[in-house]
Every structure is written in C-alpha cells, then in structure tokens.
Amino acid sequence: LWSCPRQARRRYWSVLEEDCGERLVLLRPRLGGTGTMVPKRGDVERLVGAGEEALQGEALARVRAWIAPEAARGAGFP
C-alpha cells in the first residue's frame, strides 16, 4: 500500500515509463474553463481542440515515428 496518493502517482508513472519507454507520450491539453461534472455548451468542441493542440511538435513527431510510413500515408498523415 502507498502511504499517500502522491507516492502512488509517482510509482504509477515510473512503471509506465519502464514498460513503455519511448512509446509513452504525455499530452497535457489546456482544459481551463470547461465543466467538470456538468458540461457546458461548447465544451466538447473546446476539449477536442485542446487535445489537437496538445498533439503538436515533439509529441506529434514521436507518434508519427511509431507508424510505418505506408500506414501513415494511408491514415492521412503527411
């Protein structure tokens, strides 16, 4: 058992990093202003946009590298 939630989270991420190595990408979209329990009008669109924005730069390059070039072209990746 963990002595506190913070230690549990730290161990969780350590195990993920060990198991996944370079195939782990942490996306941190900006979610401020969205509803938590009760979504507000437009939240879905804002959340999708925030996720797309988070998958840019190094994160996108890493994900693209996982996909075979032929499959990437077939999936609409440049």
Q: Which residue has the tokens 């963990």?
A: 2
Token readout for 38 is 């009760």
DSSP assigned state of 73: H
Which pLDDT score is estimated for 20? Answer: 84
- Per-block mean pLDDT, blocks of 10 residues, the chain (78 long): 58 84 82 71 84 88 79 60
Which pLDDT score is estimated for 9? Answer: 76
Which pLDDT score is estimated for 2? Answer: 44
For 49, the 3-state DSSP assignment is helix
pTM: 0.52
Contact in structure between 47 and 34 (CB atoms under 8 Å): yes
